[in-house]
């Protein structure tokens, strides 16, 4: 069970990094187009691109931090659950693990 959770967290992290990379790449392309059209100077383009990269990094950090907080909250709440609630949770997790990835 914990292996699945760690794999899911790894996937979230990798998705965030991928999103940041794509955002940086696309923002660079947009800035370059604006520079070619003469709507931005090269220096303004560099500044804008750096701002966009910084904002993208902040969003990814926030998402990762939020995911960790959610996992921590779930773990804290499991300690407060009754034996019946834990058994029901285990059964639900077992059902989810049996389903193919496409259905999750």
Q: Which DSSP string corresponds to 73-96?
A: HHHHHHTT--HHHHHHHHHHHHHH
**Residue 87, pLDDT score:** 84
Tokens 């999750």 sit at which residue? 104
Q: What pTM was computed for the model?
A: 0.41
Contact status, residue 24 vs residue 56, Cβ threshold 8 Å: yes
Q: 35 Cβ partners below 8 Å, 6+ apart?
A: 41, 42, 45
- In this prediction, residue 102 has a pLDDT band, given cuts at 50, 70 and 90, of very low
The residue segments making up the domain with residue 82 are 2-103
Assess whether pLDDT exceeds 70 at residue 2. no
The total domain count for the chain is 1
Distance (Å, whole) CA 68 – CA 15: 15
- In this prediction, residue 5 has a pLDDT band, given cuts at 50, 70 and 90, of low
Distance (Å, whole) CA 78 – CA 39: 56
Q: How confident is the model over 25-72, as pLDDT tens digits? A: 777 788 788 777 787 787 787 788 788 778 877 877 777 777 677 777
């Amino acid at each position: 069970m914990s292996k699945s959770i760690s794999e899911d967290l790894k996937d979230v992290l990798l998705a965030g990094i991928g999103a940041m990379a794509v955002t940086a790449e696309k923002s660079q392309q947009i800035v370059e187009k604006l520079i070619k059209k003469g709507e931005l100077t090269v220096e303004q383009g560099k500044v804008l691109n750096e701002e966009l990269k910084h904002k993208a990094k902040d969003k990814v950090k926030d998402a990762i931090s939020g995911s960790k907080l959610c996992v921590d909250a779930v773990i804290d709440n499991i300690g407060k659950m009754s034996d019946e609630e834990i058994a029901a949770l285990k059964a639900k997790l077992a059902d989810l693990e049996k389903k193919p990835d496409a259905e999750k």
